[in-house]
């Protein structure tokens, strides 16, 4: 029973983020306002799924036996559009939480992107991703939500004009649905078309044709409802009965993304385990792709009842895949906690993972352009599997594509790389860093370029991790070209005259001197076999992390102190020869330090002591100009 106090309307302010989102909705430049309806129908369908799920353990919740469904009612005279469901409903507190705050992290990420986007892009983003309940305010100047939680007596009305606050009040149960939620949109003058039967029916068919509950339409006050969609689960139909349009619509419903999927994987597994999967590779990156939680969103159904979207149906490195798995091998009343440990589910997970990867392999073979698109969008995520999924490592390496010194703007596979390896080459060479231009300009590449040896250019942050424990691929190991000694001399090159001749005596003497002077900063100074143009570069020692990985680990506070790098000197460089020929002690010392700082700068770092660096440079300038010290 409601108390007198509860019958008094109570005013609440929206959370700041909601106000911002609402402001964007109300002033939306988005021309395709139809999307509000798909959001309301999708919420109604979610509510029906929740009811079905909760009724398994608490049958009294749907004891009336009325099948869950969705009703859309139009009233031209009253200028209202109503979306009503007989799903789970909301209690007073649930309304405050669900409709006054933004809980989903994806929505938050969406808002940040939306704020950063310019006019036209904003509109596109709203179209591409679901923006939820608040999109109602694109077409309505007032929204009432009347709801009764399944199994409860009391009912509540939430209303707002979308301008900063909402009101909540207890309503007479007679005025509320016996169970579920009624959303009443008081339409703006220019949204009158949403009271028209044909318009609304078409929108529902186009946008919500595959929600798993029937949708009925009442075209005007007093009319009988007619069925618009039947609520049959698409995945139970056979592939031949399903059009691309059907698949795309279903994808949009299940993912909350409104782009076009790159491809789908639809199959029914029979045998030891029975389950059906309908999974999609999205056509754009979901907003939560780089969340630290790295959660997937595949939905688990048991005998067509939605159970959870937190069952980890795919490994983390496939978290971009959207879709469903429906199985009859699990009990309906399985608790969400039990699911994680279920051996049935781990068998299903393995099966679905295998199917998704082999579908990607097929795509790579037969539709290279689409595969390229896929790789640009999700390659960085898939590569996480190379060090997380030992069993499928070589399969993932086969799928991987790389920019290389030979790829130009395209990408190459490891098979292609191996196909053009030089005689005597036993490793797959790579260099990693944060951007392509910097990598391309790296002095470490010089010797490899001179010999025409291809090097992978790795720029994703995950690239700093997997090559060190990727093991072998096709019996070739991965080798960082910024680490250890190169074996360039053993590899036949395009131009063998480039093989490094012995260093002149003066240069070795200077190198010995520099090793002494710089002993606090570097582990060694030695003649380089990888440089042809630059005077110097820094490399990491043979064992331990390469330079890039070391920097990342240090940045993340996971490495106490970096190991000292090795300074390599190009003994054939005229500059180095010239420097070595000068005997003056101050000059030699300045030169040693300046060469080290130059190598640091080429590596994207700073001189460790900027004042000393500036002082040495000034002394050198004075020498050049001929000014006295
Ligand atoms: P999302 O559906 O992605 O969670 P929305 O903005 O569409 O985001 O909805 C916010 C929340 O409001 C939902 O998560 C749900 O808790 C609640 N809600 C909205 N519509 C309904 C409904 N018809 N029945 C029950 N709860 C609803
Ligand atoms: Mg929603």
Number of domains in the chain: 4
Q: Indicate if 93 and 177 belong to the same structural domain.
A: yes
- Mean pLDDT over residues 549-565, rounded? 78
Q: Is residue 97 part of a domain?
A: yes
Which pLDDT does position 485 carry in this prediction?
A: 80
Nearest CA to ligand 1 atom 7: 132
With a cut of 90, say whether residue 578 has pLDDT above it: yes
Which pLDDT does position 495 carry in this prediction?
A: 55
Q: Cα separation of 89 and 153, whole Å?
A: 12
Which pLDDT does position 285 carry in this prediction?
A: 92
The answer to whether the CB of 323 falls within 8 A of the CB of 352 is no
- Ligand 1 in contact with 253 (CB < 6 A)? no
- Ligand 1 in contact with 181 (CB < 6 A)? yes
19 pLDDT band, cuts 50/70/90, is confident
- Per-residue buried b or exposed e for 529-565, using 16+ beta carbons within 10 Å of the residue's own CB: bbbbebbbbbbbbeeebbbbbbbbbeeeeebeeeebb
Residues in CB range of 264: below 8 A, 6 or more apart? 247, 251, 278, 279, 280, 281, 323
Per the prediction, the chain carries an average pLDDT of 90
**Residues within 5 A (CB) of ion ligand 2:** 43, 132
- Ligand 1 in contact with 86 (CB < 6 A)? no
Q: Is residue 256 part of a domain?
A: yes
Q: Is residue 497 part of a domain?
A: no
Q: Kindly tell me the sign of the dihedral angle through the C-alpha atoms of 506, 512, 517, 521.
A: positive
The answer to whether the CB of 456 falls within 8 A of the CB of 402 is yes
CA 106 to ligand 1 center in whole angstroms:
14
Task: Choose one of 42, 43, 47 to mutate for the ligand 1 pocket test, by most ligand atoms within 8 angstroms of C-beta.
Answer: 43
Which tens digits make up the pLDDT trace of 20-44?
888 877 776 566 788 899 889 999 9
Q: Indicate if 513 and 456 belong to the same structural domain.
A: no
> Measured between alpha carbons, how far is residue 243 from residues 230, 234, 237, 239, 354 in Å?
17, 11, 11, 8, 25
Q: Is residue 127 part of a domain?
A: yes
- Tell me which long-range contacts 244-253 makes (C-beta under 8 A, separation of at least 24): 246/209, 246/210, 247/280, 249/206, 249/207, 249/208, 249/209, 249/210, 250/210, 250/278, 251/280, 251/282, 251/322, 251/323, 252/38, 252/207, 253/38, 253/42, 253/45, 253/208, 253/210, 253/211
Q: Indicate if 484 and 514 belong to the same structural domain.
A: no
Which pLDDT does position 2 carry in this prediction?
A: 61
Which pLDDT does position 101 carry in this prediction?
A: 80
- Ligand 1 in contact with 106 (CB < 6 A)? no
Q: Is residue 385 part of a domain?
A: no
- Ligand 1 in contact with 99 (CB < 6 A)? yes
Q: Indicate if 26 and 147 belong to the same structural domain.
A: yes
Q: Indicate if 411 and 289 belong to the same structural domain.
A: no
Q: Cα separation of 257 and 259, whole Å?
A: 6
Q: Which of 333, 135, 328, 87 has its CA nearest to residue 231?
A: 87
Which pLDDT does position 1 carry in this prediction?
A: 54
User: Rounded to two decimals, what is the model's pTM?
Assistant: 0.82
- Ligand 1 in contact with 85 (CB < 6 A)? yes
Please name every residue paired with 215 in a beta bridge, in sequence order, or none if there are none: 70, 229
Last residue of a domain, one of 161, 194, 229: 229
CATH of the domain at 447: 3.40.50.11260
Q: Please report, rounded to a whole number, the percentage of residues in the chain having pLDDT higher than 70.
A: 94
331 pLDDT band, cuts 50/70/90, is confident
CA 497 to ligand 2 center in whole angstroms:
67
Last residue of a domain, one of 331, 358, 373: 373
Q: Indicate if 106 and 197 belong to the same structural domain.
A: yes
Q: Indicate if 485 and 365 belong to the same structural domain.
A: no
Domain that holds residue 164: 10-229
Q: Is residue 5 part of a domain?
A: no
Cβ-based neighbour number of residue 474 at 10 Å = 12
CA 252 to ligand 1 center in whole angstroms:
17
CA 43 to ligand 1 center in whole angstroms:
5
With a cut of 90, say whether residue 428 has pLDDT above it: yes
CA 345 to ligand 2 center in whole angstroms:
27
Last residue of a domain, one of 462, 490, 518: 490
- Mean pLDDT over residues 358-377, rounded? 96
Structure-model confidence comparison of residues 22 and 619, the more confident one: 619
- Ligand 1 in contact with 548 (CB < 6 A)? no
Q: Cα separation of 375 and 410, whole Å?
A: 11
The answer to whether the CB of 379 falls within 8 A of the CB of 363 is no
- Ligand 1 in contact with 104 (CB < 6 A)? yes
The answer to whether the CB of 349 falls within 8 A of the CB of 296 is no
CA 133 to ligand 1 center in whole angstroms:
7
323 pLDDT band, cuts 50/70/90, is very high
Q: Indicate if 218 and 241 belong to the same structural domain.
A: no
Pairing of β 155-160 and β 140-148: antiparallel
Residues in CB range of 285: below 8 A, 6 or more apart? 320, 377, 378
Q: Indicate if 101 and 201 belong to the same structural domain.
A: yes
Nearest CA to ligand 1 atom 23: 44
CATH of the domain at 149: 3.30.565.10
Q: Cα separation of 383 and 315, whole Å?
A: 12
Give the gyration radius of the chain's Cα atoms: 32
With a cut of 70, say whether residue 499 has pLDDT above it: no
Task: Choose one of 46, 144, 215, 310 to mutate for the ligand 1 pocket test, by most ligand atoms within 8 angstroms of C-beta.
Answer: 46
Helices (H), 410-502: 414-419, 436-440, 446-450
CA 347 to ligand 2 center in whole angstroms:
31
Q: Indicate if 16 and 165 belong to the same structural domain.
A: yes
595 pLDDT band, cuts 50/70/90, is very high
Q: Is residue 387 part of a domain?
A: no
Structure tokens at 383: 């590569």
Q: Indicate if 290 and 196 belong to the same structural domain.
A: no
Q: Indicate if 96 and 209 belong to the same structural domain.
A: yes
Q: Which of 437, 517, 429, 512 has its CA nearest to residue 476?
A: 429
Cβ-based neighbour number of residue 438 at 10 Å = 15
Which pLDDT does position 123 carry in this prediction?
A: 65
State how far Cα 582 lies from the chain centre.
Answer: 56
Q: Please report, rounded to a whole number, the percentage of residues in the chain having pLDDT higher than 90.
A: 64
For residue 584, which phi and psi values (nearest 5 degrees)?
A: -60, 125
- Ligand 1 in contact with 87 (CB < 6 A)? yes
Cβ-based neighbour number of residue 103 at 10 Å = 10
Rounded to 10 deg, the angle between the 343-366 and 368-382 helix axes is 140
Which pLDDT does position 106 carry in this prediction?
A: 63
Structure tokens at 311: 């069952």
- Ligand 1 in contact with 98 (CB < 6 A)? yes
Residue entry with tokens 């060090």:
387
Q: Is 514 helix (H, G, I), strand (E, B) or coil?
A: helix
Which pLDDT does position 550 carry in this prediction?
A: 81
Window from 232-246, 331-345, 612-626 with minimum mean pLDDT: 331-345
Nearest CA to ligand 1 atom 16: 98
With a cut of 60, say whether residue 494 has pLDDT above it: no
Q: Is residue 396 part of a domain?
A: no
With a cut of 80, say whether residue 445 has pLDDT above it: yes
Which pLDDT does position 164 carry in this prediction?
A: 87
């Amino acid at each position: 029973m409601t108390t007198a106090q509860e019958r008094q309307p109570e005013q609440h302010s929206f959370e700041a983020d909601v106000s911002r989102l609402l402001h964007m909705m109300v002033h939306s430049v988005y021309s395709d306002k139809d999307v509000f309806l798909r959001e309301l129908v999708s919420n109604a369908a979610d509510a029906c799924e929740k009811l079905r799920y909760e009724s398994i353990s608490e049958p009294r919740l749907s004891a009336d036996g009325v099948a869950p469904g969705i009703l859309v009612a139009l009233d031209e005279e009253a200028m209202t559009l109503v979306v009503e469901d007989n799903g789970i409903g909301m209690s007073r507190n649930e309304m405050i939480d669900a409709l006054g705050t933004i809980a989903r992290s994806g929505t938050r990420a969406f808002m940040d992107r939306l704020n950063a986007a310019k006019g036209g892009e904003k509109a596109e983003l709203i179209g591409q991703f679901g923006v939820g309940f608040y999109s109602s305010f694109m077409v309505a100047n007032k929204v009432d939500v009347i709801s009764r939680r399944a199994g409860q007596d009391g009912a509540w009305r939430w209303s707002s004009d979308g301008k900063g606050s909402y009101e909540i009040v207890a309503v007479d149960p007679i005025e509320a649905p016996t169970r579920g939620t009624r959303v009443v949109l008081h339409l703006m003058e220019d949204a009158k078309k949403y009271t028209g039967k044909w318009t609304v029916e078409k929108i529902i068919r186009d946008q919500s044709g595959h929600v798993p509950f029937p949708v009925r339409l009442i075209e005007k006050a007093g009319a009988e409802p007619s069925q618009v969609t039947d609520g049959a689960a698409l995945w139970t139909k056979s592939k031949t009965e399903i059009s691309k349009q059907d698949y795309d619509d279903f994808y949009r419903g299940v993912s909350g993304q409104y782009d076009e999927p790159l491809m789908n994987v639809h199959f029914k597994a029979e045998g030891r385990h029975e389950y059906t999967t309908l999974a999609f590779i999205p056509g754009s990156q979901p907003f939560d792709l780089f969340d630290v939680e790295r959660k997937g969103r595949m939905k688990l159904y048991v005998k067509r009842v939605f159970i959870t979207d937190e069952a980890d149906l795919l490994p983390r490195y496939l978290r971009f895949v959207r879709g469903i798995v429906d199985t009859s091998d699990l009990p309906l009343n399985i608790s969400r906690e039990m699911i994680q440990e279920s051996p049935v589910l781990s068998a299903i997970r393995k099966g679905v993972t295998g199917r998704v990867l082999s579908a990607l392999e097929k795509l790579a073979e037969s539709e290279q352009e689409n595969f390229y698109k896929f790789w640009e969008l999700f390659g960085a995520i898939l590569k996480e599997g190379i060090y997380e999924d030992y069993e499928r490592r070589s399969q993932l390496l086969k799928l991987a594509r790389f920019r290389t010194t030979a790829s130009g703007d395209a990408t190459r596979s490891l098979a292609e790389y191996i196909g053009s390896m030089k005689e005597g080459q036993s490793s797959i060479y790579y260099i990693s860093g944060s951007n392509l231009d910097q990598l391309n300009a790296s002095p470490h590449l010089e010797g490899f370029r001179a010999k025409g040896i291809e090097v992978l250019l790795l720029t994703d942050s995950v690239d700093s991790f997997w090559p060190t424990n990727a093991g072998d691929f096709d019996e070739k190991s991965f080798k960082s070209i910024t680490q250890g000694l190169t074996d360039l001399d053993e590899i036949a090159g395009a131009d063998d005259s480039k093989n490094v001749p012995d260093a002149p005596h003066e240069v070795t003497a200077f190198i010995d001197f520099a090793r002494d002077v710089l002993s606090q900063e570097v582990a060694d100074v030695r003649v380089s076999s990888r440089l042809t143009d630059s005077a110097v570069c820094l490399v990491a020692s043979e064992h331990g992390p390469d330079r890039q990985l070391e920097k990342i680990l240090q940045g993340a506070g996971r490495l106490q102190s970096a190991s000292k790098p090795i300074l390599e000197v190009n003994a054939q460089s005229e500059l180095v020869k010239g420097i070595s020929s000068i005997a003056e002690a101050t000059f030699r010392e300045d030169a040693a330090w300046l060469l080290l700082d130059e190598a640091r700068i080429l590596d994207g770092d700073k001189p460790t002591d900027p004042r000393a660096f500036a002082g040495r440079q000034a002394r050198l300038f004075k020498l050049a100009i001929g000014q006295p010290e």
